[in-house]
Amino acid sequence: MRIVVTGAAGFIGSNFVRLLCQDAGHEVVAFDALTYAGNRHNLDGVLPPERIVQGDVRHPAEVRGVLEGADVVVHMAAESHVDRSIQGALPFVETNVVGMQVMLDVAREVGIRRFVAVSTDEVYGSLGPEGSFTESSPVAPNSPYAASKAAGDLLALAAHHTFGLPIIVTRCGNNFGPYQFPEKLIPLTILRAMRREPIPVYGDGSNVRDWIHVEDHCRAILRVLEAGVPGRVYNIGGGGERSNVEVVRAILKLLGAPESLIRFVPDRLGHDFRYAIDSTRLQTELGWERRWSFEEGLADTVRWYQTQEQWWRTVLSGEYRAYVAKQYGVVGG
Ligand code: NAD
Ligand code: TYD
């Protein structure tokens, strides 16, 4: 089976390709524009260079070039960082909405047999202290990132309804693990704590996310790919709820770094208070269970960043900073 994974050089994409390649029966092709978040080296030793195609989901000819002859698509390419979407939403609309439609059109044209659209719990908006998102919760996104992902999901489901395209949508909570770009809370905190640099916590740190180890997310996507029902949405996650300040304190403890590194900084605009996922459907219909506890996964992730200095020094290098400064007018990391 020939499987095309878009966004395969990013965080979740590269972990997913690693998982897929454990089964020699799969012919995997990685498709990625290699933006600031995409790193060819994330696939070193996993895929030969000829299986890594640099291309942009916004460009139909490039997408056609890689989808022709493919059986299955796992579409993960996206602009993925909420703070960047607040600074400028246009790249999010272009990649997450226009890019999705290009993927759908070409998938229909070439007769793709299964198309998994990887999405996020953030499309459901924000929760108060109680309750959790089910697949029938209203889609009510708040950030430009979440709105662009919701638009993409709805276009994908519309392609199923209208044309019978075999679409399955997954919506997962906050991931953490190896190869995550250090602009997101967990890797940013680990790298700053390792270097004893101040750690910015937005607002009072009470916002809650439902954390999941990336390997558990990838196993869920694989299960959905194998047995999910087209036209359906599957939530992924549950059981990993922590406030941001709890997450930061846990990392500081693992690294023996002082809590005095924490800096409470002005809150993110429109900051969603809480996400929590009900993944009963995935568990009961497809038999998925998470394997990592939050604590074990976090300790494993901290160890990974401690031993992968060359990786994070490269992604934080001048080239990346120059790209970010040009593209977004900010310096990340
Ligand atoms: P990431 O930012 O690490 O990777 C995104 C990848 O997409 C990068 O390799 C980038 O080069 C590529 N890309 C961006 N624009 C592209 C374009 N126009 N054409 C082709 N490739 C392009 O993101 P991630 O955290 O790995 O997220 C992957 C997917 O999972 C996204 O769709 C995201 O919305 C979704 N998701 C992420 C999380 C999370 O916690 N990280 C949670 C739920 C869902
Ligand atoms: P993030 O990793 O950006 O993921 P998302 O916004 O998609 O949930 O942020 C996770 C949480 O951590 C979110 O509530 C914002 C907060 N946060 C901080 O407090 N400080 C930071 O430096 C970052 C990047 C995030």
pLDDT digits (tens, 9 = 90+) for 202-218: 999 999 999 999 999 99
Alpha-carbon separation of residue 288 from 26, 51, 228, 285 (angstroms)? 21, 29, 11, 8
What is the best residue among 86, 127, 149, 244 to mutate for testing ligand 2's pocket, by most ligand atoms within 8 Å of CB? 244
Any residues with CB less than 8 A from the CB of 111 and at least 6 apart, and which? none
Report which bound ligand comes closest to the CA of 174. Answer: 1
Q: What is the rounded average pLDDT of the residues 290-297?
A: 97
Beta partners for residue 243, in sequence order: 208
Any residues with CB less than 8 A from the CB of 45 and at least 6 apart, and which? none
pLDDT tens sequence across 260-285: 999 999 999 999 999 999 999 999 99
pLDDT at 331 over 60: no
Report whether residue 184 contacts ligand 2, using a CB cutoff of 6 Å.
yes
- What residues does ligand 1 touch, defined as CB less than 6 Å away? 6-7, 9-13, 32-35, 37-38, 56-58, 76-80, 95, 99, 118-120, 149, 172, 174-175, 181
Alpha-carbon separation of residue 309 from 141, 250, 264, 304 (angstroms)? 36, 21, 27, 9
Torsion, CA 223, CA 97, CA 56, CA 25, rounded to 10: 10
pLDDT at 333 over 50: no
Q: How far apart are CA 277 and CA 132, in angstroms?
A: 5
234 is catalytic: no
Nearest CA to ligand 2 atom 9: 185
CA of 162 to the centre of ligand 2 (A): 37
Q: How far apart are CA 223 and CA 69, in angstroms?
A: 23
Q: At what angle do helices 185-194 and 244-255 cross, to 10 degrees?
A: 30
pLDDT tens sequence across 164-194: 999 999 999 999 999 999 999 999 999 999 9
pLDDT at 53 over 60: yes
Amino acid at 317: S
Q: What is the rounded average pLDDT of the residues 294-315?
A: 95
Q: Is 71 helix (H, G, I), strand (E, B) or coil?
A: coil
What is the best residue among 11, 42, 184 to mutate for testing ligand 1's pocket, by most ligand atoms within 8 Å of CB? 11
pLDDT at 314 over 90: no
pLDDT at 325 over 70: no
pLDDT tens sequence across 216-234: 999 999 999 999 999 999 9
Q: How far apart are CA 20 and CA 16, in angstroms?
A: 6
Six-digit token pair at 311? 């990786």
Q: Is 219 helix (H, G, I), strand (E, B) or coil?
A: helix
CA of 167 to the centre of ligand 1 (A): 18
Percent of the chain topping pLDDT 90: 91
Q: How far apart are CA 40 and CA 54, in angstroms?
A: 9
Six-digit token pair at 17? 């390709």
pLDDT tens sequence across 21-49: 998 889 999 999 999 999 988 999 999 99
Domains of the chain: 2-175+212-236 (3.40.50.720)
**Model confidence band, residue 329 (pLDDT cutoffs 50, 70, 90):** low
Mean pLDDT of the chain: 95
Percent of the chain topping pLDDT 70: 95
Q: How far apart are CA 311 and CA 158, in angstroms?
A: 40
Helix (H) or strand (E) holding 251: helix 244-255
pLDDT at 23: 85
Six-digit token pair at 315? 């992604």
Amino acid at 142: N
**Model confidence band, residue 315 (pLDDT cutoffs 50, 70, 90):** confident
121 is catalytic: yes
Q: How far apart are CA 180 and CA 217, in angstroms?
A: 14
Catalytic residue, chosen from 32, 56, 79, 121, is 121
In 7-141, DSSP assigns E strands to: 27-32, 52-54, 72-75, 114-120
pLDDT at 90 over 90: yes
Q: How far apart are CA 209 and CA 151, in angstroms?
A: 22
Check: CB of residue 172 under 8 Å from CB of residue 210.
no
Check: CB of residue 5 under 8 Å from CB of residue 16.
yes
Helix (H) or strand (E) holding 61: helix 60-67
pLDDT at 24: 80
pLDDT tens sequence across 121-139: 999 999 999 999 999 999 9
pLDDT at 332: 44
Is the pTM here over 0.75, yes or no? yes
